[in-house]
Amino acid sequence: MIFSAARWPTCIPSCERPAGPRDERNKMQTAELNQNGNRFGASLAPIAADWRQRFIGHRKIAIVAKAPDTVRLAPWNDASWSKWILNDMASLNEAPNWDACFEVHENAITSASCGTIHSQWLRKQHGKPIVTNRSHADMPDCVPLPVDEIVNTFGRYVTNTVSWMLATAILLQPDEIGLWGVNMAQDGEYAYQRNNLEFFCGVAFRAGIKITIPDGCDILTAPFLYGVDGERMLGKMKVRRAELEQRLSQARANETHWTTQRIATEGMLGELRYWHMYSGAAD
């Protein structure tokens, strides 16, 4: 699936937030950035020039996570895509090639309990950006996550690593962003994370950035169009529910029947054993 919004105006309104000590500085730096042209107008929070230098040439950004059904479809062999991976995908050789790695979990960086292989890998020189939650002096490729820029531009609403990656990619204003190995279809942890990821997909869409999502991915999908074909789907779900409830009722009735039969049979067998023992007959 490809979502493109090139025909839409590209100014994104900033999120409302209380004024703070950084506002004047941000206003001056944002004005400077706007002179060079960007898709966000005055809402774009500044990114340090040296931070941008680590991502020169990343015009098509493939964000790749670990969901097995679509991770294999990522453009691993397409040099036009810059592959952004996360966590221990590289240290465990789960990524054939990559251009940036995001590891924002403090315990994975500092705790040996998270695996010495990954911890040691983070501290080696790779010549590629390793984006972390903060600066780490013992990591030669460390690039601190642009938290201030993201929060100042989009608000304090980031619930997972992939959203940090997507927000960072949006600030770089690429031509296209793709999502592979990202489903968030399960209950629990991923249930609340998916809403946040789809929020940033909408931000990218509104900014005129093409969003590519592989077939089979649950992001930006719905079982039906509410108010359009919902009645048809609702009717099918009602029929299916009635069918399942009938099957469950029949199964319970059968369970009651066979439970009664089992108890009666066990009673008769117990009685037979008693008379067998009483008669002194051999087995």
What kind of fold does domain 2-6+51-212 have according to CATH?
sialyltransferase cstii, chain A (3.90.1480)
Q: Give strand ranges (E) for 81-194.
A: 82-86, 100-103, 130-132, 142-144, 176-180
Three-class DSSP category at 80: coil
Q: Using one digit for the tens of pLDDT, what is the confidence trace for 48-69?
A: 457 788 999 999 999 999 998 8
Domain boundary assignment for the chain: 2-6+51-212, 227-283
Whether 91 contacts 108, CB under 8 Å: no
Give which of 50, 193, 200 is closest to 135, Cα–Cα: 50
State the amino acid at position 63 in one-letter form.
I
Query: Which residue's entry shows tokens 């774009």?
Result: 44
Residue among 244, 212, 197, 218 at smallest CA distance from 69: 218
Q: pLDDT category, 47, cuts 50, 70, 90?
A: very low
Q: Contact at 8 Å (CB) between 28 and 38?
A: no
Cα dihedral value 154, 157, 163, 168, nearest 10: 30
Q: Where are the beta strands (DSSP E) in the chain?
A: 2-3, 60-64, 82-86, 100-103, 130-132, 142-144, 176-180, 210-212
Dihedrals φ, ψ of 144, to 5°? Answer: -60, 135
Lowest-pLDDT choice from 22-36, 100-114, 163-177, 180-194: 22-36
Radius of gyration, CA atoms only, the chain: 28
Closest CA to 212 of 174, 186, 184, 185: 174
Using left for φ > 0, alpha for ψ between -120 and 50, and beta otherwise, residue 163 falls in alpha
Distance CA 223, CA 242 (A): 20
The per-residue pLDDT of the chain, averaged, comes to 81
* Beta carbons of 171 and 44 less than 8 angstroms apart: yes
- Decide if pLDDT at 46 tops 90: no
- pLDDT tier for residue 283 given thresholds of 50, 70 and 90: low
Q: What are the tokens at 144? A: 């601190």
pLDDT tens for each residue of 226-279: 777 767 777 777 888 888 898 899 999 898 888 988 888 888 888 888 777 777
The per-residue pLDDT for range 131-168, each reduced to its tens digit, is: 999 998 999 999 999 999 999 999 999 999 999 999 99
